[in-house]
Amino acid sequence: MKTTVLTYGTFDLFHHGHLKLLTRLKALGDRLIVGVSTDEFNAGKGKKTIIPFADRIEIVQSIKFVDLAIPETDWGQKARDIVAYDVAILGMGHDWEGKFDHLGSLCKVVYLPRTEGISSTQIKQSLGYFDKSHLSDLKASLDTISSIIERLR
């Protein structure tokens, strides 16, 4: 029987911390499913993304050890997905410690440390406010990252 691991995140401004977290999660099982928060869900949480949902889910799905990327649309989805995908392990970053323990009756819940010194929030703060030229530069960077990922497939 294969062990399915499930995680969720926004994955805005995808960076090596995201990659390390997903790598560690994949090592916990045979199949990794990643829920990527939609722009609408993030807006409901008061969170604004730089990279649009369609691009973020494409980046995540392009990672060779991610078996499936799915949209995350609401808080209650985690329980539904655990059942629907026969999930053995729900893994989240340690900043969510304790927030999903209630799902422990459905699967094992683990909280992994995040990579020190990097986060999308830190990147956004260091860039300050965004004007159209910033967004254009970020889009160019995303295109570069996408082409690198494509070559690694």
DSSP 52: -
Q: Which long-range contacts (CB under 8 A, 24 or more apart) does 115-119 make?
A: 115/16, 115/17, 115/20, 115/21, 118/15, 118/16, 118/17, 119/15, 119/17
pLDDT digits (tens, 9 = 90+) for 18-63: 889 999 999 999 999 999 999 999 999 988 888 899 999 999 999 9
Active site residues: 45, 47
Q: Tell me how many domains the chain contains.
A: 1
Residue 70 structure tokens: 């799915």
Whole-number mean pLDDT of the chain?
87
Instruction: Read off the CATH number of the domain in which 76 is found.
Output: 3.40.50.620
pLDDT at 96 over 70: yes
The band of 123, judged by pLDDT with boundaries at 50, 70 and 90, is low
pLDDT score recorded for residue 133: 63
CA separation for the pair 126, 75 (Å, rounded): 29
Indicate whether 122 pLDDT > 60.
no
Domain region containing 124: 4-152
If DSSP codes are grouped into helix, strand and coil, which group holds residue 70? strand
Place of tokens 């989805």: 77
CA angle 50, 98, 108 (to 5 degrees): 100
Best mean pLDDT range from 15-24, 62-71, 116-125, 144-153:
62-71
